Structure 1
Amino acid sequence: MKKKLVFIEGQITPDFIANAIAKHQVKTQIGAHNIFLGQIRKDEVEDKVVSAIEFSCYQEMAEQKLHEIREEAFEKFDLTCMHTYHSLGKVNVGEVCFFVFVSAPHRPHVYEATEYIVNRIKSEVPIFGKELFEDESYQWKTNV
């Protein structure tokens, strides 16, 4: 099986997202798509303002877990396609760092599948975010 691209260095660009969508126009058995985009927020934590998040992971372990989630999602939902992408490295406030794209013959499946996939990835995949503050200090982020 060909290894799927999951991790992208830096932000996930609008062009990357648009191209992913455009590639699916030829798949005429698809009746619905759903997309989740995770974007870096300009949070304030104890009077410090987030300027970026620097992502890292145990890539081999993360890819294995993502593969398991993918296989289980295809078993659980009537999906045609599923793509997940996550940033590594520094992603600035306002930029996209997490992209889930789900396609199916019918609308109800994509809504349920997207929520399931996003929640599983956020809670189970060993991806770590270091919140970088405007004053150049940092803290490790916890997922919510």
Structure 2
Amino acid sequence: MERKPKNIFTQGAIDPAFIAESIAKHSTKTDIGGHSIFLGQVRADVIDDKKVAAIEYTAYEELALEKMHIIREEIFSKYELTCMHVHHSLGKVAAGEICLFVFTSSAHRRAAIDACNEVVERIKTELPVWGKELFEDETHQWKVNR
């Protein structure tokens, strides 16, 4: 059965309570033996003597959701996953807040870990999502992924 694209975008930071609730909901899925979770957090980098206060995320949403659907299907074909959840922030996310939540589950840990790592790498390289670093002095620049 073909899955339809899921909306992965959340306005603003991803609330830690939402992450905890997502984990708790899986306690009834007793065929799962391992979860892997990646949490991306905005860093207060110092660039040219200016400190990052936040990142403002924008995306070409329609294309990003189509691309994420393709990634999702390929990951499910490659790994024996029970489920996979991806949440990415849009809008302003302050330093110290969560901007990316990837959560994979499988009967065995290796599939969950490997799938989670691959999903994160592919999101960073393939999705049309951009971050504008907002500095404490109210200037900004487009983020360069390191």
Scaled to the shorter chain, the TM-score interval is over 0.9
Shift of 1:142: 1.6
TM-score, normalising length: structure 2: 0.96
Q: Which residue of 1 aligns with 2:140?
A: 138
Task: State the alpha-carbon separation in 2 of the partners of residues 59 and 38 from structure 1.
Answer: 19
Task: State the alpha-carbon separation in 1 of the partners of residues 65 and 7 from structure 2.
Answer: 9
Q: Which residue of 1 aligns with 2:80?
A: 78
Task: State the alpha-carbon separation in 2 of the partners of residues 98 and 48 from structure 1.
Answer: 24
Residue type at the aligned position of 2:61: Q
Task: State the alpha-carbon separation in 1 of the partners of residues 36 and 57 from structure 2.
Answer: 25
- Secondary structure of 1:11 counterpart: coil
Shift of 1:4: 2.4
Q: Which residue of 2 aligns with 1:62?
A: 64
Q: Which residue of 2 aligns with 1:44?
A: 46
**1:5-20 to 2 correspondences below 5 Å:** 5-20=7-22
Shift of 1:143: 1.7
- Secondary structure of 2:20 counterpart: helix
Residue type at the aligned position of 1:125: L
Moved over 4 A (4+): none
Task: State the alpha-carbon separation in 2 of the partners of residues 3 and 67 from structure 1.
Answer: 5
Q: Which residue of 2 aligns with 1:119?
A: 121
Q: Which runs of 5+ in 1 are unaligned?
A: none
Tell me the matched-pair count: 144
Q: In 2, are the aligned partners of 1:7 and 1:87 still within 8 Å (CA)?
A: yes
TM-score, normalising length: structure 1: 0.97
Q: Which runs of 5+ in 2 are unaligned?
A: none
Residue type at the aligned position of 1:106: H
Task: State the alpha-carbon separation in 2 of the partners of residues 122 and 2 from structure 1.
Answer: 22
Summarize deviations over 1:16-70 as a string: whole Å, max 9, x none: 1011111111111111001000000000000110000000000000000111110
Residue type at the aligned position of 2:8: V
Task: State the alpha-carbon separation in 2 of the partners of residues 70 and 44 from structure 1.
Answer: 34
Q: Which residue of 1 aligns with 2:23?
A: 21
Q: Which residue of 2 aligns with 1:105?
A: 107
Question: In structure 2, do the counterparts of structure 1 residues 23 and 5 end up closer, same or farther at CA, with 3 Å as the change threshold?
Answer: farther
